[in-house]
Amino acid sequence: MEESNFIALSPSTRKILDRMKQAVTSDLPILFLGESGTGKSYLGYLFHSFCKDRFPQYQVFDFSVSESEEETSEIFSKLDGKAGVTIFLEAFSNLNPSFQVQLLQKIRNEKGKNRYLLSDEPDLTEKVKSGRLQESLMTEIQTLQVKIPTLRDRKEDIPPLTRFFLDLIGKRYNRKNIKISEKLGKFLLEYDYPGNLHQLKNLLEAMVSMHNVKTLDTKHLPPELFETGYKQNDNLTVRTGIPLRDYEREIIRRNLILVNGNREKAARILGISERTIYRKITEFELFDSEDGKNLPSS
């Protein structure tokens, strides 16, 4: 893996790259924190590429799926006697307390011998408070943290990520130079992405696999995308001194643009009936002259 494959145009992702480079010479474990689909395992392998000289081997152990005590013991036995290994442990907080203690001992005893990378969801402090995560283990691993932003918090990276994924997907489906329309580009920038990078990649692959076109548009978006609820965005910008009516009109207008004017899809996104959105379109005069010729019956 090359550094050039890591898309880092937003300030937050540039800081991640800088922090990882600074951490190469340290022997401390690194803790990657981020929501599902943000690319924690990708960053773990990227970091390994930075320190291959000292730790040429790379091993990944995923605890996101619950393992039996016997299976977990086998995993830990595989780590015994290792040297020169970058060891990446996913969802380590799912380990039971006794294995968390063993992990703590291994990290302490193997410092400089192996490099431990750990990844998990951002709620580790709550897990410590609830007793699900050993405080001593958290204290040991929290010095070098890499906090990975959600895709909705790194909007500058979405266009190059889209191009990168389309190139990969195009090779898989033997399709070259797949483009996206301006309207679809706006949609991809404004969508909330509860599934983060994985969702963007899967969304693009779904459109490429289902539509043999040179330019993808919003009409090629999977209908299922509009049947699921949107994750609440705590970072929604609201300005004071603006009438509620103006906000309502702008919200409806933007969602209609995102779905290429499809009232049924826009109504699903907004959580209102199609009859209500038609009434609002009429009230706010959001249809163009051509659209106005084919208004649905009341």
For a pLDDT cut of 90, what percent of the chain falls above it?
58
Mean pLDDT throughout 276-295? 68
2: pLDDT strictly greater than 60: no
Residues 223 and 242 in one domain: no
| Strand-pair category, 115-120 with 85-90 | parallel
Q: Are residues 12 and 53 in the same domain?
A: yes
Same domain assignment for residues 165 and 267: no
The answer to whether residues 60 and 140 belong to one domain is yes
Mean pLDDT value of segment 59-69:
84
CB 2 within 8 A of CB 13: no
Helix or strand (DSSP H, E) at 90: strand 85-90
Among 119, 149, 179, which residue terminates a domain?
149
Categorize the per-residue pLDDT at 292 as very low, low, confident or very high, splitting at 50, 70 and 90.
Answer: very low
Total domain count, the chain: 3
Name the more confident of 99 and 265: 99
Query: What's the whole-number mean pLDDT along residues 185-189?
Result: 91
Give per-residue pLDDT as tens, 100-131. 999 999 999 999 999 999 999 998 999 999 99
Sign of CA dihedral 136, 139, 145, 151: positive
- pLDDT tens digit string along 218-272? 889 887 776 544 444 455 566 667 788 887 888 888 788 777 778 888 888 888 8
- Residue 291 has what pLDDT? 42
Q: Quick one: 81 and 170 in the same domain?
A: no
Length in residues, the chain: 298
Collect all residues with Cβ–Cβ distance below 8 Å to 205 and sequence separation of at least 6.
165, 169
Distance of alpha carbon 88 from its chain centroid, rounded?
19
Residues 104 and 176 in one domain: no
- Which is more confident, 86 or 226? 86
Give the structural domain span for 260: 236-297
Question: Are residues 215 and 119 part of one domain?
Answer: no
Per the CB < 8 A criterion, the answer to whether 170 and 177 are in contact is yes
Q: Does one domain contain both 241 and 223?
A: no
Structure token digits, residue 34: 């981020």
Whether 149 has a pLDDT exceeding 50, the answer reads: yes
23 and 106 share a domain? yes
Q: Among 125, 149, 173, where does a domain finish?
A: 149
* 24 and 136 both lie in a single domain: yes
- Quote the tokens at residue 7: 């898309």
Helix-helix angle 182-190:244-258, to 10 degrees: 120
What pLDDT shows up at residue 230? 45
Q: Can you tell me the mean pLDDT for 137-150?
A: 96
* Non-local CB neighbours of 166 within 8 Å, separated by 6+ positions: 178, 180, 204, 208
Backbone angles phi, psi at 36, to 5 degrees: -60, 135
Question: Alpha helix (H) ranges present in the chain?
Answer: 11-22, 40-50, 69-79, 97-109, 124-130, 135-141, 158-172, 182-190, 196-210, 244-258, 263-270, 274-284
Say if residue 7's pLDDT is above 90. no
Q: Say if residue 78 is in the same domain as residue 92.
A: yes
Q: What is the domain-level CATH number for residue 122?
A: 3.40.50.300
* Confidence category of residue 148, pLDDT binned at 50, 70, 90: very high
pLDDT at 83 exceeding the cut of 80? yes
Q: pTM for the full model? A: 0.74
Looking at the fold, whether 246 and 169 belong to one and the same domain comes out as: no
From 228, 253, 273, the end of a domain falls on 228
CATH of the domain at 270: 1.10.10.60
CATH of the domain at 216: 1.10.8.60
- Interval 57-68 mean pLDDT: 86
